[in-house]
């Protein structure tokens, strides 16, 4: 019996599945990295402006870090700075299945206690 073509058939079937799985891994990794970046930038901004916070200063710092501020909400109280921001990031491979953008959101509050900033 001649079985020379069986490996080729398996290869043709499995390659798109493996490429699809790799594309999902890349997109999820990109999404997680952007989420962590947004959270870390927000924490740094809160620490930076805690003593002299203003909404304009916070917006400027986000823009300096190339983070959009269209959906930025800032609440400044005595010892508390609360930031909510939502950004759209472009998908790398998600456009193949109709997901051209992803939403990344941060909701973080910094509170000053004993000369330290604690995050909620």
CB 83 within 8 A of CB 74: yes
Domain presence at residue 1: no
Strand partners, 108: 83
pTM: 0.81
2 pLDDT above the threshold of 90 = no
Q: Is 9 left (phi over 0), alpha (psi -120 to 50) or beta?
A: alpha
Q: For residue 68, which phi and psi values (nearest 5 degrees)?
A: -60, 150
Looking at every residue in the chain, the average pLDDT score rounds to: 89
47, part of any domain: yes
Q: Which structural domain, as residue segments, surrounds residue 34?
A: 6-119
Q: Number of structural domains, the chain? A: 1
- Domain assignment present for 115: yes
Q: In what order do the strands lie in the sheet with 116-119?
A: 73-76, 80-90, 101-113, 116-119
- Determine, yes or no, domain membership for 31: yes
* pLDDT tens-place string over residues 41-52: 999 999 988 888
What mean pLDDT comes out for the span 60-82?
92
Per-residue pLDDT tens digits for 50-68: 888 789 999 999 999 999 9
């Amino acid at each position: 019996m001649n079985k020379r073509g069986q490996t080729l058939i398996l290869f043709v079937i499995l390659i798109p599945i493996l490429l699809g799985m790799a594309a999902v891994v890349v997109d999820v990794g990109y999404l997680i990295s952007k989420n962590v970046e947004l959270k870390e930038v927000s924490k740094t901004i809160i620490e930076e402006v805690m003593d002299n916070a203003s909404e304009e200063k916070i917006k400027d710092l986000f823009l300096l870090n190339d983070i959009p501020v269209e959906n930025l909400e800032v609440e400044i109280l005595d010892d508390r700075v609360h930031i909510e921001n939502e950004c759209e990031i472009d998908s790398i491979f998600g456009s193949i299945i109709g997901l051209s953008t992803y939403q990344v959101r941060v909701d973080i509050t910094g509170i000053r206690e004993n000369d330290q900033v604690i995050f909620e």
